[in-house]
Structure 1
């Protein structure tokens, strides 16, 4: 099968032209009323070298983002970082589409601390099924910030324009970050189920023989059908530790079990755990326990 051709969009102006939208009032940022996209068809996969924050309603059909397929419903906020691929189902119906999309170029942030800070917002790396569920009051709060941004970027550009736009954008993303952490706390049943499945996956991994390669956060996240960023944020919210720290903890606990209950040498233990090189195992074990594997075995007897 011939792979799909991708439409690459490099600028905010290119974005509005591609989607047949009004030209942007600012070269690096635009706020789009999504009702303007009703009646369009979006068959080609798009790769935009832009950031997008969007709240869509009334979208009938599915949108493919990363490895996930997503149906839009009311109250869902999604985030795209530059270089991410979005592909719409050919039967996507935009006839009742509403909501908004804030599209901005990375150059808007280049000279500001937000240019670095934005890479730490995990929600820009999330798969779309991990979109932010926002309440009606939260929607109104976000939209009030957006109205302030719209007022500013529709004014003639002066020496203060970019400073004010970036400051307002930082407020918007700050609220989004707060709402994400609220979501982790209010959806505890769902997240505790994911935590249980995460722990069960690690236990099953270390129970295999012959030993598979060492588990990575990427591998575990894919097995659980979530993104690595979401998995780490969820675990940190529930336990105070990242996904990598949990993987290391499970690894060390299994290592302790092997060291105390078998006659395997340290090297054999390392291979049993999936390490290619025993000295990597020894280094990790000592960093986590303060003892080498051999010293740990000796101290327990």
Structure 2
């Protein structure tokens, strides 16, 4: 087997703590498969584990999503074989040339979807899937605000929602990014002015739901943009974690609903994972959503990739190539 190596953090901190090291992945055990990875997805959650915002034992083997081909199958595995094109977006350790994962966390990548597209889409695409399909039943004509619209999740979530007939108001961190977003309304305004803009666009009503992956900086604007009994879905912390809130703020702003979901709770079983992945691949094959890979970095340049991501210099998805 070709020498295996990975990118890890032996201490928490900035991007400079990411280092390369050789390792022996070993052979897959009961119910496991060994994947030789061809592409790895870069996600904001990777920076949370690197910085220590999300706890994990040190050293942290970074990364959650990747795609490639199965090189070995452990005892008891059915439905998967050596040579299968597969993807996985579970656990840690994706920043590696080789990865052993539980077989029930792996999905087969269908024809017409490349390993690069799968690696770029699995985590972000399945996140967009549960946000659009499982969180709240939006009807055609209802209005959604999507923050970080040009980002990895936003760039998938917006066409997914629009395909359902939802009116999408997109908000981006720069005028350049806003110009690239295909939404019913694509905005770049300061957070302090956003709620006023939203009220103007909705005739004073506000939006039915806010999809907020920004966190601390956008929190107040998101609450102020909602209609009475609207829902704020806070699914990320790109600007930092939201500070503790008072439930009275929700009642004073119109009996609002707030939830803080995570993908892991929507793909707990193999059946849930397969259903979510199937809905994503279906929309990819029909051209409703696209991987929109904006950047490719060598896996060995993971430090530079993290710097670009945290500086908001990326657009769409970013992948790492071993």
Q: Aligning the two structures, in what range does the TM-score lie when normalised by the shorter sequence?
A: under 0.3
In the superposition, the TM-score normalised over structure 2's length comes to 0.22
RCO greater where, 1 or 2, for CA within 8 Å and sep 6 or more? 2
In the superposition, the TM-score normalised over structure 1's length comes to 0.24
Structure with more of its chain in strand, by fraction: 2
Structure with more of its chain in helix, by fraction: 1
Larger radius of gyration: 1
